[in-house]
Structure 1
């Protein structure tokens, strides 16, 4: 009595794509919506906040082990009868999470996904985009933060073409539950999602489905300097990847005694597209459209050259992330009627999206390859107790880049 569906709820209508056109079907909102996001994290960032696991692995002469992470969100239009909401997700044994995990209803609701605030950095931001030996005419776009009002987001800084797409959020739910929580559990490198899943609670109908897709394989990336001064990024193809997207954040430290610096931001998109949904989990149909628009690299692509001007503008540090967007599985009960004239009243909908991500330091051996044998870990360019990359950029920018530990303390 369950069905896999490939559609989206949009304002009470189901838009079912067909080769001959789009058919609109009336539908009521489901009582409950369930969302799972699965990620495989490798490279810098794997094994702990701020990449500490990767740092320790490199220090001991090893390679950081890829990690699996899982986020669960349940939203319902119901309230718990006793005023004490409780829900849990019963996992297959291969998940290695015990019989179930509790979906906790937080006393204080978390912030909505997306950009919630912008902490203005000092100095300037130089924005580059596109793969190639050299940046084309018109780049970089320079934003002088001294000319912006406090708290003002620079116009056009984040993409508007790719919004964050979440079914479940605290504001769209009468009762909301989420995991990970404070139960001390987390997905493991050998956890598997394949098999039967059930979500049960006192504020939502029972949800049951079986997953056929597992965590994606890890991204194995490397980077090397080219004679032109450009940086060549390489990675191995990941099965089930629907497309790839790379970002790099870098910087030029100000002369000693001065508090100003340049922040450099580069994206692999052929157009000026940054942040937003590009740093999130994207549906395969969305990725396919973005590949056509050359915002996202195709699943057949395994290289991208970062222009020489990016490295020249950011001589002190360059940190990158590479996303491999993956498959989606969607479920609903009862199934959507085949006759588009029949109104659909689902009790629940559920979906899981996948991605694989790797973090790397450009030119640092052990994190995605080195530019040369002489490359060594850079000395700290800041005094202790200053904020890290996330702090330099402002919390919103660091979050948009997906920087591990963005906004945390450190150099």
Structure 2
């Protein structure tokens, strides 16, 4: 993309103004033949953020102190040279993934599951940090209408687009990992060092990563006299911004779920969309400026008293710290002449944590369960969003999805 030509410089010499143009660097002359996308995440607290929390609410999931997740996606405009598509990522030894991991070409990528039945009750939506919710909140949505596809306009953000790079639809040939090779990232997997991606449908890629998985987020909560809840966390040096969320609900007299509550720290009522993804530092910087995302210096946020009141005794919270990005391309930009790209590669980072609050549970704790040591990038899993209502709400708060 060609950058904007900037005119600058006002020199006070005899009241004469001189405008000096800064010539923009020419962009690539073509789209790259192949694109590679890496996502590296750190997960603490309850498993897999809000999506995992929802799973635990309904009978599944396991707790894990600190996990790592890694997703690899390769897309090419070329067909495989001969035979079936084959691709491998060769990481440095510190990754502890063996010689290589195999990128599988799936026949399809599964999406959301269909809700088994229409949920009852209402969804109460709050947003913004503060002891009390501002006038005009909550927005109330009937679940029956939501489940039948009647989504109110402006409910989920459309300004922050999900960007997963290569996929089956925008690539002639596509491969992804985790796949079916039985490998998974571990708590002590390290990323810095030389990486190589070789396949029979894309140019070979070689690049060196300098950034490792982000540190784990640690959260504690406390009740305020107003009924609000204070959420505090230890900041991460490489974080570019933070987004907090909370989900809760009350049961009816017959044991069914009644009204549910969803809250986000966004001051601009932004839910879902790309906020559930790994965002680039430039994206986060813009979101910090418009108060959609909390600044990287933030270490606390107050959940309004009205949210705590309406959410009942059982609440699940999530916090995402967005992180750095590294980009690579080949060949290097030439001094003169057209720049014909063969491939590009990027890696984005984030750190997420989640916690449960319920009667008798210490403040800010996750559910206790045995740790099996596996990260979210475990073998045999597709990069997919959790289906049903739990996945939908988890993604809306920014902690769900892959």
TM-score (norm 2): 0.82
Partner secondary structure for residue 213 of structure 1: coil
Seen in structure 2, the aligned counterparts of structure 1 residues 147 and 282 have a Cα distance that, compared at 3 Å, is: closer
Seen in structure 2, the aligned counterparts of structure 1 residues 405 and 104 have a Cα distance that, compared at 3 Å, is: closer
Seen in structure 2, the aligned counterparts of structure 1 residues 117 and 78 have a Cα distance that, compared at 3 Å, is: farther
* Structure 1 unaligned blocks of 5 or more: 1-13, 56-62, 371-375, 377-389, 407-411
Partner secondary structure for residue 189 of structure 1: coil
Seen in structure 2, the aligned counterparts of structure 1 residues 216 and 138 have a Cα distance that, compared at 3 Å, is: same
Does the CA contact (< 8 Å) of 2:245 and 2:398 recur in 1?
Answer: no
1:89 aligned residue: 89
Seen in structure 2, the aligned counterparts of structure 1 residues 117 and 46 have a Cα distance that, compared at 3 Å, is: closer
Partner secondary structure for residue 37 of structure 2: strand
| RMSD across aligned positions (CA) | 3.1
Report the Cα offset of residue 87 of structure 1. 0.2
Partner secondary structure for residue 169 of structure 2: helix
Does the CA contact (< 8 Å) of 2:391 and 2:400 recur in 1?
Answer: no
Report the Cα offset of residue 194 of structure 1. 0.3
Q: Does 1:401 align with 2:366?
A: no
1:137 aligned residue: 135
- Give deviations 1:280-313, integer Å, cap 9, x for gaps: 1000000000000010000000000000000111
Does the CA contact (< 8 Å) of 1:250 and 1:319 recur in 2?
Answer: yes
- Give deviations 1:18-71, integer Å, cap 9, x for gaps: 765866635311110000000000011169x8469999xxxxxxx942111100
Seen in structure 2, the aligned counterparts of structure 1 residues 277 and 46 have a Cα distance that, compared at 3 Å, is: closer
Query: Map of 1:242-261 to 2, 5 A cutoff?
Result: 242-256=240-254, 259=256, 261=258
2:66 aligned residue: 66
Seen in structure 2, the aligned counterparts of structure 1 residues 39 and 271 have a Cα distance that, compared at 3 Å, is: same
Report the Cα offset of residue 184 of structure 1. 1.6
Partner secondary structure for residue 312 of structure 1: helix
Report the Cα offset of residue 366 of structure 1. 5.4
TM-score (norm 1): 0.80
Does the CA contact (< 8 Å) of 2:243 and 2:398 recur in 1?
Answer: no
Report the Cα offset of residue 147 of structure 1. 4.7
Report the Cα offset of residue 122 of structure 1. 2.1
2:338 aligns with one of 317, 340, 343: 343
Does the CA contact (< 8 Å) of 1:35 and 1:73 recur in 2?
Answer: yes
Partner secondary structure for residue 25 of structure 1: coil
Does the CA contact (< 8 Å) of 2:92 and 2:194 recur in 1?
Answer: yes
- Give deviations 1:311-331, integer Å, cap 9, x for gaps: 111104211110000000000
2:192 aligned residue: 194
- Give deviations 1:174-207, integer Å, cap 9, x for gaps: 1110000122211111111000000000011000
Report the Cα offset of residue 252 of structure 1. 1.7
Q: Distance in 2 between matches of 1:149 and 1:298?
A: 34
Query: Map of 1:326-341 to 2, 5 A cutoff?
Result: 326-337=323-334
Query: Map of 1:152-231 to 2, 5 A cutoff?
Result: 152-231=150-229
Q: Distance in 1 between matches of 2:66 and 2:263?
A: 25
Seen in structure 2, the aligned counterparts of structure 1 residues 178 and 308 have a Cα distance that, compared at 3 Å, is: same
Q: Distance in 2 between matches of 1:221 and 1:117?
A: 33
Query: Map of 1:6-405 to 2, 5 A cutoff?
Result: 14-16=1-3, 25=27, 27-45=29-47, 50=52, 64-111=64-111, 121-147=119-145, 150-256=148-254, 259=256, 261-337=258-334, 342-363=337-358, 365=361, 368-369=364-365, 393=389, 395-401=391-397
Partner secondary structure for residue 393 of structure 1: helix
Does the CA contact (< 8 Å) of 1:46 and 1:64 recur in 2?
Answer: no
Range with bigger deviation, 259-268 or 85-94? 259-268
Partner secondary structure for residue 2 of structure 2: strand
Seen in structure 2, the aligned counterparts of structure 1 residues 327 and 391 have a Cα distance that, compared at 3 Å, is: closer
Seen in structure 2, the aligned counterparts of structure 1 residues 311 and 337 have a Cα distance that, compared at 3 Å, is: same
1:6 aligned residue: none
Partner secondary structure for residue 313 of structure 1: helix
Q: Distance in 1 between matches of 2:267 and 2:74?
A: 36
* Structure 2 unaligned blocks of 5 or more: 8-21, 58-62, 369-385
Does the CA contact (< 8 Å) of 2:192 and 2:211 recur in 1?
Answer: yes
Partner secondary structure for residue 355 of structure 2: strand
